[in-house]
Amino acid sequence: MSLHFAHSGAWSLAIIMVVAASWLVYRYFAPKNWREWAGAWVVQAFIIALYAEMYGFSLTIYLLVRFFHLDRTSLNANLWSTLLGMGETGMMIAMLVGYVFLFIGIGLFIEGWRELYRAHEQKGLATGGLYTVVRHPQYTGLFIGLFGEGVVHWPTIFSITLYPLIVLIYARLAYREERQMLEQFGEEYRLYREQVPRFFPRWHQWRQLLDQSQI
């Protein structure tokens, strides 16, 4: 069977997107130890696999067609639009919804970094802005952004497999960071931790989170 994949083969664009996304991750996370580097490498693998399939060759759909014998000869490279038979319309919906999550995530990611940087400059504890809503806004932004791009917009075998691993790795990193904060700030951080959720805000604070994610 001869298969035709729409929206594929743009390897130059894939490389550009990998470089740009990787720069964003390393610019604002700046790994300091082997655990942070391990998390960054998994995110790097996620990024490479995602954009290689998005703009290069859609391996996930190719395997699904081959192994499950889907009766399709012309395939849209987006998984959801292909499986649901929604064509360009389905791809557009997935793209728009995914980008909403992505830009919210990027906003949280960058604004959280700014607030943390200011707190480090003052040698104090970051408890203002986004940190009044969640204790780890950068990780929250990472989770939301990767979910939007790698699960909603362009799901692949690799992105769906790596996503829960990324969440697990950074949840463990957050736990270790909180232990360090307890050692450094003591009772002040303990009280803060009791009042503010780790990654996701309480229901009535989601609007506040979204408002402050705008960059």
Tokens 């190719």 — which residue? 62
At 157, the amino acid letter reads I
Tokens of 32: 């300091």
At 192, the amino acid letter reads Y
- Tell me the sheet residues that pair with 74: 4
Query: 1 and 73 in contact (C-beta within 8 Å)?
Result: yes
Provide CB contacts within 8 A for 136, sequence distance 6+. Answer: 112, 170, 174, 177, 198, 199
Look at residue 74 and tell me whether its pLDDT is greater than 60: no
Q: Give the tens place of pLDDT for each residue, 117-158.
A: 888 888 888 888 899 999 999 999 999 999 999 999 888 888
Domains of the chain: 4-212 (1.20.120)
Mean pLDDT, the chain, rounded, equals 82
Query: 105 and 167 in contact (C-beta within 8 Å)?
Result: no
Under the banding of pLDDT at 50, 70 and 90, the label for residue 12 is confident
Q: Give the tens place of pLDDT for each residue, 160-188.
A: 889 999 999 999 999 999 998 898 888 89
